[in-house]
Amino acid sequence: METQRQKKIGGVIQKDIVDILQRAAIDGGMRGTIISVSKVVVTTDLSIAKVYLSIFPNKEADTLMEGIKSNQPLIKHELAQRTKHQLRRVPELLFFLDDSLDYIENIEKSLKGEENPIIDRDLLPKRKKS
């Protein structure tokens, strides 16, 4: 269960991270790439913030995620500058790709009958035997 404080800090981080990443994508010559922060989950001790990103178009996602992860210290520094009046300490930032939109899209395709996993077994993810 998230406390009010965790939610508040998550909200502050979410608002600023979007701005930082969107500007970085434009400066990096990736105009037309949309980066959104779907959620930020802050640990109870407020030391780590898990940042879930949605990137469109999806083909840019892996390249962009690598860049974001390698520039994590710079992003954290920029965030610290922006939030110095709201946060005493900026948590460690961990970035994850939020693929829930792809998941939803696949479900919608299946429901519309565009892709039928019963007919085409390759559409189903393979289960690993434990």
Per-residue pLDDT of the chain (130 residues; tens, 9 = 90+): 779 999 999 999 999 999 998 888 778 777 778 888 999 999 999 999 999 998 887 787 888 888 899 999 999 999 999 999 888 899 999 999 987 766 777 777 777 766 666 667 676 666 556 5
- The structural domains of the chain, ordered by start, are 4-99 (3.30.300.20)
DSSP state of 77: H
Question: What pLDDT sits at residue 93?
Answer: 96
Whole-number Å distance between alpha carbons of 1 and 15:
22
Share in percent of the chain as helix, strand, coil (round to 5) = 50, 20, 30
CA distances from 61 to 6, 79, 101, 104 (A): 27, 22, 13, 17
Question: What pLDDT sits at residue 118?
Answer: 65
Q: What pTM did the predictor assign?
A: 0.74
Question: What pLDDT sits at residue 130?
Answer: 53
